[in-house]
Structure 1
Amino acid sequence: MSHTAHIPSHRKPRRSASKLALRAGVAGGVLSTIAVAGAAGPANAEPVTETIEMPTLGSLDTELASAVSASAEAAKQEALDLSLKAQEDAAIAKAAKEAKKAKAEADRKAEAAKAEAERAEKARAEAQERASRTEARTTLSTSSSGSSSSSSSQVATGSAAAIVAFARAQIGDAYVMGGTGPNSWDCSGLVQAAYRQAGIDLPRVSGSQSSMGTSVSLSNLQPGDILYWGSRSGSYHVAIYVGGGKYVGAQNPSTGVVERSLDWDMPSGAVRIR
């Protein structure tokens, strides 16, 4: 017999292996249970059981799908908002461009209408001027035909003769603005010098010269009368009537002092200073 056969063992009783029961309803989604039994107690002791609810894969899939769907919906809404904003911006830009184009067209039409009105007014004024000159020519022609002998044989006498003689003596001289002789003249400078030969002092400028004396009709002219163009108090050109339907005047830098027919440039009126 062994010497140790009856020696009682001092080891603690070896615990039985803990029981771990895991029931995971992976496919079916049931509750999983973990049962832990302690082996330290008596053999017939009740096992301690703890139940833990674990999420199922089916539940995780559902939540993940819901989150993905919500994210996709938000991205879709954001894209839609951006698209609408882009459309609004494009519509605003198009409207502004069309408004600018319409304004430019309206301005162009207004300018064209203004220019047309100015042309019409100018044409009307020119037509009135032509009509006035035609009427004057007709009156002068009628008067001349009624007394052709006296018109063609108008002879300057007295002071008028001196005025006409001086004016004709300057034919061919140059025209110079502000000229008062002896070899260059402007229109009023020539008239002033011619009248000085008759002992008559006249103002220097054409507007003042035509304002003096007595107004006479173009159909009743006499040699030595002053012809004017423009209004009587605001004439811009003067010359001397020399008889026979003609006048002598310092016209412009191109022609100088010349003798012309009244028909070449019909004057606006005449004055007599004697």
Structure 2
Amino acid sequence: MCYLHVLMMNRTKSLTAAVAIVATSMMLTAFAPSATAAGDDSAASSSATVSSSRSFKAVQPKSDLLKESTSTTNDGGWGTQTLDVPQTKSQAEKDAEAARAAAEAAAAQAAQAAAASRSTDRESLPASGTQSFAVAPPNGASAASVLSFANQFVGKVPYVYGGSTTAGWDCSGFVQYVFASVGISLPRASGAQATVGTAVPDLSQAMPGDIIANGGHAGIYIGNGMVVNALNPSQGTAVSSVGVSFSGGYSIRRVL
């Protein structure tokens, strides 16, 4: 009997303890939300779930996929940034640019050469050869007009070998210049001038305005056995006798 009594008492104690544990757990469960709500906010914060989100801006696709871009803009929500994209050139464009550059260089070189040539020509003429006097143009294509025009240069224009302007001329250059002023084109050399127009057989039949020329000299006859001509470097444009101007034979040619 003592053994059974003791066993029954132990079971009663175990059952009582189990009931007590279950009751305590139920009480804690019932009061836990209010304790957490009324108690510590930081504990609730630490147990809360953290979430993050980020939005991205859609990029509008290019409508013309074959057109080359020169710039692009990136706006992802962190600020706008524009990038310059260098534009490429086709081989044809590169070749065209190279051709233009070569043409410009050639033109510049030609202009420089022409300027140097003009400078050399100016330096070959004496300073006194620059025309600084008034010249009346010819009044028609007549012998009198030719002689009036030619006599304006006497004592004023120097003799320059190879020259053909009022800055300085040689004998045939002077004759060519004077007749060109009345619209008559003559060869440059005196020997060729001795073959133009109509031949006059003798000086006694020569008329003012006729050309007297040979292979070494040329002048314009003014009458009385005299010619106006670019005589020599020491006398320049002058009036002299036919005998002084021509030491040998000559030809008399009429072009007016």
TM range (shorter): 0.3 to 0.5
Larger radius of gyration: 1
Provide TM-score, normalisation by structure 2. Answer: 0.41
